[in-house]
């Protein structure tokens, strides 16, 4: 029976694991060992809607408390400056290309292939730089946590809030470095710390970041390398204090010569990062290219990463969570979602097995993890494979060499049938991104298909009316500074949630 858990690592992964397990299983003894000398990675700021859902719906944290502490900027989606269009938006509404308005016989993707702007409300909001529609009573029209909205988080604020929440929940902390590991059946028997002490726990979580001290180093689990699909392995990351720039309620993703560059807005700061392939450009060249798109950035630094995951994420009495278990790449900001899911699967599994997890539970966990990693790899690879914005060595290689793996049938179907979604259940069973994600990228990148649709005037009228309605709502909507001001008031949350 698992009575005690030792978490190695105090970054967002280790802290979220400790918090999830302690909150869901309060009788567990949970200790986090972290090193203030090594510190945390300091990137990890874009999210998808599952992350707020995890904190609020799964863990039950108060929305006002978390909002006030984290000061997130709402992320309605990603604006891609990829492909031949000036830009296209991939929003979290689920109402873009695979969506069908009741008055129209076909999916939006058929009507919006040439001009997808304002096909859903979030893309109309993004065009105006607005974060949320305004209700008739003047309050922001805030959806339920985990639907349509994600956050931009400042890594420092997130880690600090997680630590406070962990301490309140009764998690213990030790600031020390790992000095040795004693392995044994069924995985780790004990760890030694550089303060001379030793820890023995029933279960260990490896959240030691890319060092992967337990899963990778001590247990020697093989690494499934994704570099055959995804060629980027470094980023130049930096930021600056906001000047007079408007707060963007979305992530901007811009194609650069040997990769792409994010812009992630926080209330008072703007972060930019150039994700690049070290096989195609040097660190110095990457910094130079970065400075052109982020001239105000202060002290940009190079962050290295390896795309892939350790084959098993749960081995005996050890599970890896966060970068220690794997990382694909920053595009689409999926890492905190994977971390949240891993924490949830562990907590639910331990609750259902009364803290005596079975071998079949471990096998299932590893299978789910493996499938999730491959889905993310292939979804991101699809982005790169079809981006024809630039004709550089890096992008030519992406178009020529990136394999589609399990997505080949989906892409063939799309080429022959256009943005139809009748294939969704068959070609993408249980896929995390759903048909909407794939169509958002295929149509967004203007991948040609054989079913261009010349809609008759009556249908076009309905189509334009929908877009106009979205634009009108967006016109009266509120920007992020107003949303931040209003949502710092608990009374507003009470009114919004009908309390
Ligand atoms: C360029 C880049 C951009 C990214 N962008 C995003 C994004 O937009 N969205 C997203 O969700 N994710 C993103 N990620 C992933 C992000 O880093 C992780 O989601 C998140 O920060 C979790 O990190 P972590 O806790 O696993 O690792 P870390 O933050 O590195 O924490 C590791 C912890 O282990 C401790 N530790 C390590 N070794 C030892 C030791 N020997 N002894 C004791 N303690 C030790 C450290 O002190 C630290 O506390 C990005 C990653 C990269 C590389």
Contacts 24+ apart (CB under 8 A), 171-175: 171/18, 171/19, 171/22, 171/30, 171/31, 171/32, 172/29, 172/30, 172/31, 172/32, 173/10, 173/31, 173/32, 173/33, 173/34, 174/31, 174/32, 174/33, 174/34, 175/34, 175/35, 175/36
Rama region for 138: left / alpha / beta (φ>0; ψ in -120 to 50; rest):
left
Instruction: Tell me where in the chain the CATH 3.30.70 domain(s) lie.
Output: 234-304
State pTM to two decimals.
0.97
Residue 496's pLDDT band (boundaries 50, 70, 90)?
very high
pLDDT tens digits, one per residue of 19-54:
999 999 999 999 999 999 999 998 878 999 999 999
Residue 317's pLDDT band (boundaries 50, 70, 90)?
very high
CB 471 within 8 A of CB 123: no
Query: CB of 308 closer than 6 A to ligand 1?
Result: no
- Residue 13 C-alpha to ligand 1 middle, in angstroms? 7
How would CATH label the architecture of 234-304? 2-Layer Sandwich (3.30)
Q: Which atom of ligand 1 is nearest to the CA of 208?
A: 34
Helix (H, G, I), strand (E, B) or coil at 328: coil
Q: Which of 36, 37, 39, 41 to mutate to test the pocket of ligand 1 (most atoms within 8 A of CB)?
A: 41
CB 77 within 8 A of CB 250: yes
- Residue 216 C-alpha to ligand 1 middle, in angstroms? 15
Query: CB of 474 closer than 6 A to ligand 1?
Result: no
Q: Is the dihedral of CA 417, 423, 429, 435 positive or negative?
A: positive
* Phi, psi (degrees; rounded to nearest 5) at 498: 65, 35
Q: Which atom of ligand 1 is nearest to the CA of 305?
A: 53
Q: Which atom of ligand 1 is nearest to the CA of 337?
A: 11
Q: Which of 150, 209, 265 to mutate to test the pocket of ligand 1 (most atoms within 8 A of CB)?
A: 209
Query: CB of 238 closer than 6 A to ligand 1?
Result: no
Q: So what's the pLDDT on residue 145?
A: 80
Assigned token pair, 467 = 């877009």
Atom 43 of ligand 1 has which residue's CA nearest to it? 177
- Select from 84, 90, 137 the least CA-distant residue to 109: 90
pLDDT tens digits, one per residue of 140-191:
999 888 788 999 999 999 999 999 999 999 999 999 999 999 999 899 999 9
| Overall average pLDDT of the 124-143 stretch | 96
CATH of domain 4-45+154-226+307-374: 3.50.50.60
Q: Which atom of ligand 1 is nearest to the CA of 10?
A: 49
CB 116 within 8 A of CB 467: no
Per-residue pLDDT at 64 exceeds 90: yes
Find the range with the poorest average confidence among 309-313, 340-344, 393-397, 405-409.
405-409
Q: So what's the pLDDT on residue 227?
A: 98
- Residue 18 C-alpha to ligand 1 middle, in angstroms? 15
Per-residue pLDDT at 427 exceeds 80: no
Per-residue pLDDT at 9 exceeds 90: yes
Share of the chain above pLDDT 70, in %: 100
- CB contact set of 103 (below 8 Å; sequence gap of 6+): 462
CB 339 within 8 A of CB 14: no
Q: So what's the pLDDT on residue 144?
A: 85
Share of the chain above pLDDT 90, in %: 95
Instruction: Tell me where in the chain the CATH 3.50.50.60 domain(s) lie.
Output: 4-45+154-226+307-374
| Overall average pLDDT of the 192-200 stretch | 98
- Residue 42 C-alpha to ligand 1 middle, in angstroms? 7
Query: CB of 333 closer than 6 A to ligand 1?
Result: yes
Query: CB of 189 closer than 6 A to ligand 1?
Result: no
> Which secondary structure element, helix H or strand E, spans residue 237, and what is its range?
strand 234-241
Average pLDDT, the chain: 96
């Amino acid at each position: 029976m698992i009575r005690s858990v030792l978490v190695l690592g105090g970054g967002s992964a280790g802290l979220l694991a400790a918090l999830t397990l302690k909150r869901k299983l309060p009788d567990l003894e949970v200790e986090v060992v972290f090193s203030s000398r090594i510190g945390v990675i300091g990137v990890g700021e874009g999210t998808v809607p599952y992350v707020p859902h995890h904190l609020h719906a799964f863990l039950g944290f108060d929305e006002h408390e978390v909002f006030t502490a984290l000061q997130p900027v709402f992320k309605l989606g990603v604006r891609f400056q990829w492909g031949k269009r000036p830009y296209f938006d991939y929003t979290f509404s689920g109402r873009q290309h695979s969506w069908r308005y009741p008055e129209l016989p076909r999916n939006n993707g058929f009507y919006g292939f040439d001009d997808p702007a304002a096909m859903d409300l979030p893309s109309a909001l993004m065009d105006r730089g607005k974060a949320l529609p305004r209700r008739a009573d003047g309050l922001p029209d805030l959806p339920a946590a985990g639907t349509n909205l994600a956050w931009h988080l400042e890594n420092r604020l997130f880690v600090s809030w997680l630590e406070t929440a962990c301490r309140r929940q009764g998690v213990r902390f030790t600031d020390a470095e790992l000095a040795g590991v004693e392995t044994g059946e069924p995985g780790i028997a004990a760890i030694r710390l550089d303060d001379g002490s030793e820890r023995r726990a029933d279960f260990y979580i490896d959240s030691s970041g890319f060092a992967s001290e337990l899963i990778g180093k001590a247990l020697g689990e093989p690494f499934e390398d994704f570099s055959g699909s995804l060629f980027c392995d470094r980023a130049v990351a930096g930021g600056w204090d906001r000047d007079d720039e408007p707060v963007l309620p979305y992530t901007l993703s811009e194609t650069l010569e040997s990769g792409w560059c994010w812009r992630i807005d926080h209330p008072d700061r703007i972060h930019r990062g150039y994700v690049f392939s070290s096989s195609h450009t040097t660190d110095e060249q990457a910094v130079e290219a970065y400075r052109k798109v982020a001239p105000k950035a202060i002290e940009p630094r190079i962050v290295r990463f390896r795309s892939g995951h350790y084959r098993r994420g749960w081995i005996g009495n050890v599970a890896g969570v966060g970068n220690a278990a794997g990382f694909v790449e920053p595009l689409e900001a999926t890492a905190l979602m994977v971390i949240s899911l891993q924490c949830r699967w562990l907590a639910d599994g331990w609750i259902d097995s009364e803290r005596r997890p079975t071998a079949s539970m471990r096998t299932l966990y590893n299978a789910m993890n493996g499938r999730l990693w491959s889905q993310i790899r292939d979804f991101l690879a699809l982005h790169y494979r079809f981006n024809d914005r630039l004709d550089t060595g890096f992008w030519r290689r992406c178009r020529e060499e990136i394999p589609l793996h399990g997505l080949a049938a989906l892409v063939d179907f799309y080429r022959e049938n256009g943005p139809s979604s009748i294939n969704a259940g068959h070609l993408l069973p249980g896929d995390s991104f759903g048909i909407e994600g794939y169509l958002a990228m295929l149509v967004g990148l203007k991948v040609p298909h054989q079913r261009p649709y010349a809609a008759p005037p009556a249908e076009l009228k309905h189509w334009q009316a929908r877009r106009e309605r979205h634009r009108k709502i967006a016109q009266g909507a509120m920007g992020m500074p107003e949303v931040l001001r209003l949502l710092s008031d608990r009374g507003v949350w009470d009114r919004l949630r009908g309390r």
